[in-house]
Structure 1
Amino acid sequence: MFNQAKQDRDRHKEHELYFSKGTPLVYPALLSLVAQEFKRQIEIGTRIKNGVEYKSVFDGRQAVSKLALIICSNNRQQALRLGRALGAQKLFNDVSYEHRLLDSENEIYQFHDNVLHSYRMDDPEVSDKEEIADEKYEESEASFEEEQQESHITGVFTELSTCYSPTCSGNKPCYSRSCPKRFAQHPIAESQSKSALGRSVSASLTHTPQPQELWVNQVSSYIVDSLTKQDRKRQENIFELIYTEKNFVNDIEYLYQMWMVPLLTTEVIPTSRRVNFVQSVFSNITTIYEVNSRLLNALQRRQSEHPVVSQIGDVMLDHVVNFEPFVEYGARQYGGKMAFERERATNYEFDAFVKEVERKPESRKLEINGYLTKPTTRLGRYNLLLGEILKHTPEGHSDCELIRKAMDTITGYLRRLNSESGNAKNKFDLKQLHDNLSFKNKSDEMDLDLLAEERFIIKQGPLKKTAALDSSDYQLILLDNYLLITKHKVLSFEEHYTIQRRPIPLDLLVVGVPEQLRIRRASSILPYARPGSNIQHNMTYTTPGRPLAGDLNTSNGWTGGKGGYPISFHHIGRKGSGHFTLYAATLAARRPWIDKIEKQQLALTKNRQIFELVTICDRLFSLTNRVNHTISFDNGRYFLLAADQGVYLGRTGDIAPPRRILHLDHCTQIQVIEETFTLLVVADRVLWEFPFDILHTKTGEKPDAGHKLRQHTPFIFVGECLNKKLICIPKSSSLNSYVSTYEPTLLGDTKKKSAFGRKKAYNEIGLKFFKEIYIPGEAWSVDLSATKMFITCQRGVQLVDMRTTNTQALLDPNDPDLGFIIDREMPDSVLNIRQGVKHICTYRIESNEHLVCYDEYAFYIDGKGRRKRSGFLIEWEGQPESFAFSYPYVLAFEPNFIEIRHMLTGALEQIISGIDIQSLSPALKNGTIRGAMTDASNDVYQVLFELKCLVQPQPKPAPSHLHTLAYRHQNQSTEQPPTHHTWHPSRNTHM
């Protein structure tokens, strides 16, 4: 909810925008057209009056401003009269049913119940031909009901009509005394509006309150004259408290005698549900009657003791402790109101009964809703009345402390009432949504867990499908965890919701405003354009906590106008619905959607934070000098970075930025062999070898020359197997691959040659050839375990026994539980090979249990390649390119976000968003997890970060071993960017 200053700015800018055109939005004389446009333009929200919170309401100043906007007039008095004409036909009413429309921000109004349904209903016209074919019957029924609901708003507001005289032309009024031009030149003053013939709202159409009683009329003038002005004010305030309490008790008696008793004793409501209906609508109002009758008797006794009441605080303090029934009533009021409207819409006898009773003199021309709201409004008015008494009570008077205590007690009840009524309304709406929710596409169906205790609705309202004025509406529902895009219809007096797009988890939602004047780069979690990318970049997006690059409250620079004001949504992830744009009716209606989504995203991030992203450096590496890989050594005290323009050395925890020690282009991988003091670097597909002395080279000095060990090297892998430190160097083609393994050794004889047949310039280092492994197909990644080598190729993962070099598939092809992945690993044609899933890493949880991570799935297998925990399957939200581990969490890196899952349950614990995210080093045995992403605030730099676990580390089950694979070689960068999909715990979390 915006502050008043911001609302005034919004209104002023909207007025300037439309008044400059000089054309009303609709023909202003027809009340039916004005009513429809008013419902479209007005922004309803939550406001507080007298301590009571009201939802889906608007204030009087806002209503008058919107009406002035619609008729394109600066005359607020004229707009006020137009609003009162609409209010007289029950388009809206004061929340307490006490007065008609006032141009005040302190007065709150709500749409009449049957109109509110129309306000929330979708336009029955649907542009898509398939929807017309599929929903023809439902739309015709909804259209009929909508017409029925809006048909009562009729009439002509003659002040704004054209003159009936055919000779009337020009700007001057004609001969007719009622010519509209005459009133345009001489606006009607508010004090004269009631007497203007044919141009005022009949006073009989509004509720006329009873004449206010005064204390001075109840006592002798001698007593009045003996009191000071302050004492007279105090007595008037006390008297007002007492007589309004009497009126309140009488109103409850009216409800009991004129409504409850007849409904319980006649056949208006069927016998089977008569008692339940009365209990639902009137709740515990008889208990409130008992409490307030005792309070009224005590107040009247105190008043009868002496004409001048000396003390009132003790009476109030004795009775306000019994106000608990008000809280219960407020919690059940919304459900009772809905039950009343539903019964009235379906039971014609009950509708006739309502009309008959409301016409009786006892009702004082006030409909039943006005009486049903009195308990909640009465509780809010107590502090207003007691505050006035306290204001005129002298300091030191015994009432001062007693009244303050009573007010504090009432304030506590008001807080609970607002909380309980809000929770009750939320649960009621969620139950209705759960019972009447359907999915347009079967593939989008999921359990939204709408009846969960923690679930709540943050905001809902209509947004247009396109910018066209006659475009149909989507009803958006923002939950605490999802955004739902639905079609909303009222069929057979029941609200029904059809989800049009796959529900969007807020973790995977990007929201923003398209840019109109110039193209900007995205400053959000969206990636930059890559080959094959279809993401639009003519828009500015927001990430949680980051303001938009532009003022949402101005039309300057942003698309908007009569067609609406656009909001762009992007559902990232494997099965995300991509980018789409919807349109708000007004500028003021657009901002709350973005604000509330961002606020809830921040809340989710804070509540579910497992890992904290800690920046290492943010202004050292530009996008032309990207960091591609990092490795730690010397027990984690130092780390090396392989970047596009060389190798950098940094110290862990040092505030000084890393310094460059090698000038090599396109460094993609780096490894440290501490046993032989060797540094291996893959740069531009060439494998280089350097001594440790290079680490001591100062920035700018030319280092000792390294040695080229091998060309055409896509990647290397260093690990342990058969109790040996092994260096794996693949040589691949599209048809076959040879993986050579070497064991680093220390050479004492300076005349010895290295394993590559080249004499060493320094005589302490050597690589001893161990074995060469052959597989048919192109090797994408290599991994080592205690006795095995894992090679991922086009036809799946091949498991090589390093003792015998025998090769077999990692997954048992005869296991039916693995059919979903084996069928993808073993396609029938070369064309389908590129469409297969890619294996990235394997993690051994126990001696006979391994977590296998592919870029689509993760699941468990045993030592023989058969599936374990058949009910467990992780379906990644994105398409991960690498993984990291910090027990018990597995982290999946993809360009748009980092997905953090619990590896024992599969539950999604956290999403960390960013731009062009990449993992720089897999975490070995809970090592440091480092990554890089594009700086969202300055998109020419790359930010390096570490992920610090905030959760107390848990002991890892023994034995355990982590296997990490170097991912695909760079030739695969020409593939299409990955597609994504969303998650849901009930579907993806298994044991």
Structure 2
Amino acid sequence: MQTHRPHPHVAIPPGARPAVNPSSSSAEVYSPYAFELASASDILLNQWDATPTVRYPTNRLGVPPRSRSRTRSAYEPVPPTIAFPEPEIYRSASQRSTVYPNYHRSSRSDSGHPSGHSSGPPEYEVGNNETPPYSPATPGSASSFNLPADDLDLKVNKLTRELSNMTLQSEEGLRRFQNGLLAEKDEEWHHLVPPEAREALGKREVERQSVLFEVFKSERDYVSDLKLIREVFIVPLTSSSPPIIAPAERLQTFVSTVFWNLDQILMHHERMLAALFARQQDQHPLVQSVTDIILETSFQFQVDYESYIKHYPLAEERHRTELNYNKRYQEFTQRCSQDPRVRKRDLITFLSRPVTRLPRLNLMLEHVHKLTETNHPDVEDLPVILSVMSDFLKSTQPGIAAAENKVKFWNLCESLVFNKGEIIELDWYNDNRSLVHAGTLARRSKSEMDWNPWFDLYVALLDNFFLITKEEKRPGDVVKRLVVSRPIPLEYLRLGALDAPPESRKERAEEGSILDSLRGSYRSVYPFTVYHAVEKSTRRYTLYAPSESARKKWCDALVDAKGVDDVRREANQWFVPHAVDDGFFRIPGPRMVRSKKPPSGRVVQAVSFVASGGRSFMAVGCSSGIFVGRRGENYRKILSFGNVKSIIVLQEFNKIIIHHDNYLLAYSLEVLARVAQYQSPPSSLDASLETIAGQDGSVVCCQAGRIGERTIVIYAVKTFLQVTVYTIEACRPSENRMSPRTLQNSSLSFRPFGEPLYVPKDAFSVMPLAKTVAISTERGIVIANPASATKQVIAVVPDFAGAPSSSNTGDLKARCETAKPLGLIRHDASELMVIYDTMGCYITKHGQPARDAMFIRWEIKATSFVNRHPHVLLFSSEFIEIRDIQTGRLEQVIEGVDIRLLLHTPSTRGPLLVAMRGQKDDEDGVSERIVELVETAEIAPATPASGAFAPAEGMWDEWDM
């Protein structure tokens, strides 16, 4: 007796009475057929039209529509009743159903059943010449429907009985397979199907079912391996005591980097495996299709797979790095490999499972597609999933390549060996850093005495540096790359000849006679040239590629990298040059003719100030005098002081200080502005003049700044025997209670601060610090305290006398002795940076070398500098180099012609003015361009939720909103 099932069931044996549906009236009985047939209006012309992923639309975007067939999505509940098309051998019902219904067929003894009106399905009636829409026709197969009616009836009934008995008996075997309890040799489809069934189905369908069974098996094993990763590796690693990786933050970073989003991938495949197993239980042994399940899941896991696959090279490299440097981690992985479930596989094998899973699944589905008959629905459905997977796998290739490139970049950086003592910041840990191109190139030795003038170099082009190294193999197959030339930033890299004719390289034969080794052989090499923009001759490199194609790859990579770097620097400038004037100030040029207005001459100084009711003015010192005017407008020559050395503005005290020739003079800013606007006569300036210094000696240099709450001016006066440094404090005349006789320079706006300082005769610049002053001399920087008469000179820095003796200290001392000191920058409370013309180094607050006496070499030879925390700006005639004070990293390069820093107050804030060669060259001469370096700010993303956007009242009125 059969019980009611909501799906097709096992055929009722002959002679059995039909069961009554307990949920129906007593008059309703089951159909004598194993398949419930749809009504006439629902019967399809093609019984396969009700297949998965076709015919009926779905309410989800991007997912093929579902059908009403019994091969349904495993994520949906089973409907109470399902209408099936006409039965045939390849549409199995369930593990409890037969392939064919046990209907009564017409025979010679059935005289009461005329032909064409059988109780069975029409296509199986005697006399029906139509072939079933889908029937295997393998030669020699018993499932062919071209047999005589009686033979076919016997074959079909036999296959029905066998499959029915087999499916009832194999429930336990299928359950054991899905739970992984079968022996590995028994986990094959043909071991769960009797030989008669295999013979009846034919070779093609047997192979197709075997491949589908492999899909179930591989998915089960894949889910099991993903679970093992957490059980065997992650949980013991994170719960180990003592910790294997410490501290906890580092362990957390390691786990997230190595295992990435495996949990999300496991969740997707657990759901898909449950759906596949449900389909297998429902349709075994003849599974119709799994395309709908895989297609539906593939749309769900694509994002997580894309993230994992692109990140995988980084995860593998992080694991290998920890394995090389952490002995506890090595022991941990060895213990994990001894777990019997792991089967001696390493962690890399498990981590690569998601990377190889989809390609393997794709291959299996392609195999299924090849074995599918032309009128099977999978012929149309499988190409959909194959196309989706193929496109997805192709889309991940660039991400994999980028991650592999990142791993190569890390390996390269870890293998580099620099000269000791020098700080070279390649910005390794920036996520934007990458390796553009690398390989072995040859270079010719400059020595004529070398019998083998050729040697090989490993050259690497990063996205920010060009590296030339020499490979060296060390014990343990460790490859180190010695940096034979300082890395060239791409900002300074220039390309020379890229298409020079090939040359011949002589190579010594490694085998053969002595004569053969001396004779050698020749091969063609292809040169290209690169050089440093500052050291064009001394740092010029001609490198030789082994082939024309290799040279082309290098040249293309260099051009592309330079282009990308230019765009990146243009979009991420720390300081933006903003033109203030380009045309008023001129110097004589080749096109110049006699002009009504003589050229102003070379611009050497410029300052901005505010006067006359808040208006902005600018005083520009040229070789012919000092010009004053509204900023960006016409200027007027006010003073005839040519080639002034310094112009300092004390806005708070309404004073402008001019260092001209040997004198230090002060004028009123307000009077200067009035004269520039023709509101006062030039003679009124003489009334505001105060002579600060110059009567008793020549003023060498001056500088202004703040010590505590005081605004001071420091200047050095050179006499016949010595150099004396004076410090004065700016004040208002009403605050100066000292009599003019007590003032050294008879100035009412300035008063002495501390005592004079006597320093070596080679002093050339001064600058204020927090509590002291720094005086630059040829032998170093003297730190002095003008406010303390008993302890004036503190030290000459860097102080190598008290520094620990080391090779780095000796090297730094030798370099400092040959470099010209420019000044100091206060980095933080405990560290200062000493600025030289060719390099920089760090010292403690006691003046001793810091950071193991290491130094940073500039790419230029600086003539001046400015501190704009957290950056230092170094100036040369062609480049402005902007570096991070903390790390020394090169942040930006500004290029120009005849660059001059116009504001010599490196320790104060305010407009940063620079002069360089202008863009105009006509009958008035060549223009001098004055630009202001405007410091930029990071652009923060603004969203309406953050309140950044507030619509103005009434802004939508015209839209009637």
Question: Comparing both chains, which one has the higher relative contact order based on Cα–Cα distances under 8 Å and sequence gaps of 6 or more?
Answer: 1
TM-score per shorter chain, which class?
A: 0.3 to 0.5
TM-score when normalising by structure 1:
0.43
